[in-house]
Structures are given as C-alpha cells and as structure tokens.
Amino acid sequence: MSADAALLASARAWIAQDPDEETRAELQGLIDAASAGDPDALAALHDRFDERLAFGTAGLRGEIAAGPNRMNRVLVSQAAAGLAAYLLETAEPGSTPSVVIGYDGRKNSAVFARDTAELMAGAGVRAILLPRLLPTPLVAFAVRHLDVSAGVMVTASHNPPNDNGYKVYLGGANNGSQIVSPVDGAIADHILRVAAEADVLALPRAAFETAEEGVVDAYVAATAAVASAAPESGRAELSVVYTAMHGVGWETTRSVLAAAGFALPHPVDAQIEPDPAFPTVAFPNPEEPGAMDLAVETAAALGAELIIANDPDADRLAVAIPSATDASGYRRLSGNELGALLGWRAARLAAEAPGDGGPTGTLACSIVSSPALQAVAAHYGLDFANTLTGFKWVSRAPGLIFGFEEALGYLVNPETVRDKDGISAAIALLDLATQLKGAGSSLAAHLEEFTATFGAYASSQISVRVTDLSRISEVMQALRADPPVEIGGIRVKQIDDLADGFGALPPSDVLRIWLQDGSRVMVRPSGTEPKLKVYIDASSTDGSVVEREAAAAAAVAALETGMRALVNA
C-alpha cells in the first residue's frame, strides 16, 4: 500500500469511530477531495494524521477538527480512557479512584466534559461533573475540596476561538496542582495504548455524578476571604470596570465580590456573557493588543478608576489604571508589575501576621518573570523560589504564600487553589486598591513607592508567531551553535542552557542569557502556542525614582533591539 493510500485508510478508520457529525463530514470532504487528486486536501490530511497532539504537562490543546493532530471527540475519548487507566493503575489497593470534571464556554467544551465523565465512570472511576460551565480555578479548588484523585478542565484558556484543550490536576499529595513529569508520560503511554487498541465507540460508558452547588458556594466563600480588610474598615469605594472577555468569569466573580463586601463593578456588556465565537476580540487574550479596547472605552465613558479583566476561563487577571500619558487615558499594568505589587502585599501580610521570629513563607515566580519578586523576598526575609514556566511548577514551591508568572497568572491563596486564579487575584488587587484609596494613595503611587523601596524593574517581551514549528527549533539551535557575545551593545557575561537541567531546575528548552550590567534575557518556545518567546529584564537601584526607571527602560530597549535582530522578529 502506498503512503497516500495508507493515509486515506487511516482517515476512513478515524471516521468510523468518530461520534461527531460535524468532524465526520469535514473529514469525509477532505478524503473525497484528496481521492480526486486535490493536493491541498492531501496535505491537510497529512497535517492531521502524520502526527498526534502530544499529551504533556500542559495536557492537550489544539484546533477543533478531525484527526489525531486536532482536538475532537475521538482524541478526548482516548485521553479520558487513558487517564482512567492511569488512575486505576495507581490507586491504593481496594480503593476507587475519583475525578472531578469542569468545562468552560468554548465550542465543544460541554460535550468533551460529558464524554470524559461517561468514559471515566464506564472504566470504574468515580466521575463528578461540575454543575455547569465554570472558571478553571473551580476545578483546581474542587480537587481538594472533594478530596478526589484527579481533576480535568476542558478549556483552551486564551487561545484562538476554534481551539480547545484538556488540563489535568492531581489530588492527594499533589494538592490539586497540575500534572508534571513523569506523570504526564505515564498517562500519555496509556492514551497511546487506547488509541492503538480500542475503538472509542466500543469503550464502556456509565452514569456519572453531578456536583452539588455547594462546591461553588465553598469556592466563593474561600475566595472572598482573600480580602484582608473588612468592608467597613479602611476601604474606599472605587469605580471599577470589569470584562469577562466573552468567557465564564462574571457569574462567579460577581458572587465573590458580593461575598467580600465590594461594590459590583460596571460590566462591559458586550463581553460579559460566554460566547465561543469571541465576536468583539480578534484574540481573546487580555495581553494581546486591542483585546481590552472595549473595557477602556467603557472606563473612559464612566471615568472609572480601575479596569479588571479575566481571560475566557478566568484563571488570569489583567489590570489597567488611569494614565495621563496614554492616549486612551488608561495604561495596562504588565504581568510583572502586578505580580510585584501582589507579591509585596503578600509579604507585608506575612510580616504583619502574629508569631515569633519574623515572617515565614516562600514567594515564587517562574524563571521568565521579573526578578522584582526576589528583591521583595530578600527585603522581608522570606524564602524565594524560581521555577520553570507554568503554575504546575510555581504551585509546588515549598512553603508557598504567593506565586506568579508574567503571563498574567497569580496564585494568592495557595491553601485554597494550587493554580493561577484570576478571580482570587482580582479580590487581592481590589483589597489593595481600596485600602490605598482610603489612605489617600493609588495603585500608580504605590508603583512609585515600590521603585523607591526595591528599585526599578523594567521588562519587555518578543513573541515570534510561526506557521512552521521547525522555525522555532532552528532559532534555538542557531543561538546554541553561535551564542552572542553582546546584545544591543551590552556584553554577554554568561549563558545558561537549561536543556539538561540547571541547579534545581529540571531540563527545559530554555536559554538564559546574563549581561554584564546585570540584565537578563530568556529565550524559549511557548508551551501552548506556536511561538518563540523572548523575555527581557533589567533593573536599577541608583538615583531617584525617575532616574531608576529611565536607566532600566534604556537597558531593556537596547536589549530588545539586539534580540529582534538575533531572532529576526
């Protein structure tokens, strides 16, 4: 059999076990066109069948379409059966493993979640489906609250509209954190075995449980408790605008705000309800240019003092504050800026906590996030941990009291949720902002106070989106083969290649470049999108606040120019 004939046979076999009418019809159209000699259709089939979406520490994520290299009901069924096999294999003798399953408002999220619940139950795993579409942090919370073996969240977070994904958490000693190696590999092996041996239509299915509303109520109460001040003490009311970015954050956020005693914000009406088409944004990620334009317009019309935004599954938080120098009237804080402020808040709360011997605990951030948090930890005598990128690592830092990464992810209540949580982070921020206003200050003034106390920390990022993934490996190989001796006129001091691990860090495809002036550049492939990412950080503790900020910004600008030339961005 020729390679093309074998490809067409594989595609027909896929259709035979696909329960989804839409993806069956789509794939049949490609088969018909390829059989008639259409080279584009044949190329599309190769793209879908020559490779498979890999199950890793980020679970699964990809475009919804037919074939093993896409997200669809066949792939999700194989993943569910494989995860069930892993849970049964690793369960204590005589015990029944259990899983809680959640889903957001994206296309096919609900059906992927129901397939997972039915297949888990059919395999002998106790399966509990959350009562409706809910934010991702609810699953991380429910794993611990219900004391189950694992959690599954069906979401593609802030990816393009036609993507979906499958995120896995572990209970027990893992405290509801996302999976890490070698667990991901063990689950992947089971998934591949199912794919090779089983027709998903023949896999047993059974009835599952639906979680009581009390799970949501418990999350709301625990998250409201993040606010450190009682409503009647030290808070001044703020005019706030909120957007859910067409995601699932509003219902739960509204409940938490009310429980914490905060006035409800003004919603961006066009973006407040879940909509899998994401009609008002080109890319549903608050980091992307233009994504917060409607929120800014709403805030400007109301004269609002603060904008808060969740991404579609509400595990990230974006913030904008009034700015006289920005044409729109508002400036979005970077993830590093917000992480520094929330980390400072956590350190101050630890210092104010009763007890002998001073504050204890760990502040943690990923290696691509700003060094500012390490300065805060040192100032307060707290431990600091630098982890690989992803909250699967940040959440596991021993003694954690706060963790963040620059991609708008914040973990402010590790005793409740061991993952980034855009809702609890919003409560922590509002707690800080309302207390600052009550004291006659503001978030903008607080940023200046941070610079005066710890120094100026400037950051920049370059994202190179590719259509051919080999381009990313080519750039990484080129940097390793011919490492730069200077970047933007600043001499390179040292390059750490994390490919084989570095110190306590596990192996990762990351280059960390240290410059003679203390600046740092990180280069790595994105773990969830077809991008090469470059992170640039510089700092200054010399002179006034203005002088510190100018020096750090100048170093970052020079490094950005140099790195763009190196990666052809």
Q: How far is CA 292 from CA 69, 210, 288, 323, 425, in A?
A: 32, 35, 8, 15, 18
How does DSSP classify residue 389? Answer: S
Complete DSSP assignment for 177-234: EEP-TTHHHHHHHHHHHHHHH--GGGS-----EE--THHHHHHHHHHHTT--S-TTSS
- Closest by CA position to 311, among listed 403, 404, 248, 392: 248
Angle at 173 between CA 167 and CA 179, to 5 degrees: 20
Indicate if the alpha-carbon torsion angle 376, 391, 247, 53 is positive or negative: positive
Please, which residues have CB within 8 angstroms of residue 468's CB and are 6 or more apart in sequence? none
Query: In whole angstroms, what is the distance from residue 159 CA to residue 247 CA?
Result: 12
Angle at 185 between CA 180 and CA 187, to 5 degrees: 95
Q: For helices 335-352 and 372-380, what crossing angle results, to 10°? A: 10
**Is the separation of the CB atoms in 312 and 422 below 8 Å?**
no
Which tokens hold the place of 108?
A: 């096919």
Q: How far is CA 387 from CA 11, 208, 500, 547, in A?
A: 41, 37, 15, 31
Query: In whole angstroms, what is the distance from residue 348 CA to residue 356 CA?
Result: 15
Query: In whole angstroms, what is the distance from residue 347 CA to residue 377 CA?
Result: 7
Angle at 426 between CA 422 and CA 427, to 5 degrees: 125
Candidates 157, 366, 369, 395; catalytic one: 157
157 in catalytic set: yes
Strands lying side by side in the sheet with 317-322: 266-267, 240-243, 306-310, 317-322, 330-332
Backbone angles phi, psi at 197, to 5 degrees: -110, -20
Please, which residues have CB within 8 angstroms of residue 546's CB and are 6 or more apart in sequence? none
Which tokens hold the place of 331?
A: 């400036």
In total, the chain counts a number of residues equal to 569
Which tokens hold the place of 430?
A: 């509002």
Q: For helices 39-49 and 3-16, what crossing angle results, to 10°? A: 70
Please give the positions annotated as active site. 157
